[in-house]
Amino acid sequence: MFRHVVAFRFGPDVTAEARSQIADGLAALPAKIEDIRRYEFGPDAGLAEGNFDFVVVADFDDEAAYLRYAQHPAHLALLRDFIRPAITERVAVQYRLL
């Protein structure tokens, strides 16, 4: 298995509606991208100052499946139309599950 983890910081003017659109878009991806094996996401719980605002954790069979997801038109459209306009910062890591 191969895991992708990405965290975002939203801009100060990003509305609850915009955040909801992002969550709805993310929720729709597993039905559109067959390479996704497990897909979880959500807002930070607010327990520690300095945390990022939102996280996505996605599991795939292997690196090739992750790369297909990363370039899938549905994923790219969500990034272009909703995520990138709403965020000020992004961090990510991909790794093999042991």
Whether pTM > 0.85 for this model: the answer is yes
Per-residue pLDDT at 69? 98
Per-residue pLDDT at 56? 98
Q: 78 is in which domain, residue-wise? A: 2-96
Tokens of 51: 């945390």
State the Cα–Cα distance between residues 68 and 30, nearest whole angstrom: 13
Task: Find out whether 80 and 70 touch, Cβ atoms under 8 Å.
Answer: no
Task: Find out whether 7 and 87 touch, Cβ atoms under 8 Å.
Answer: no
Q: What is the mean pLDDT of residues 90-96?
A: 98
- The total number of structural domains in the chain stands at 1
Give Cα separations from 54 to 8, 68, 70 (angstroms). Answer: 5, 23, 18
Q: What is the mean pLDDT of residues 54-68?
A: 98
Q: pLDDT, tens digit, for every residue of 6-44?
A: 999 999 999 999 999 999 999 999 999 999 999 999 999
Domain harbouring 67, CATH code: 3.30.70.100
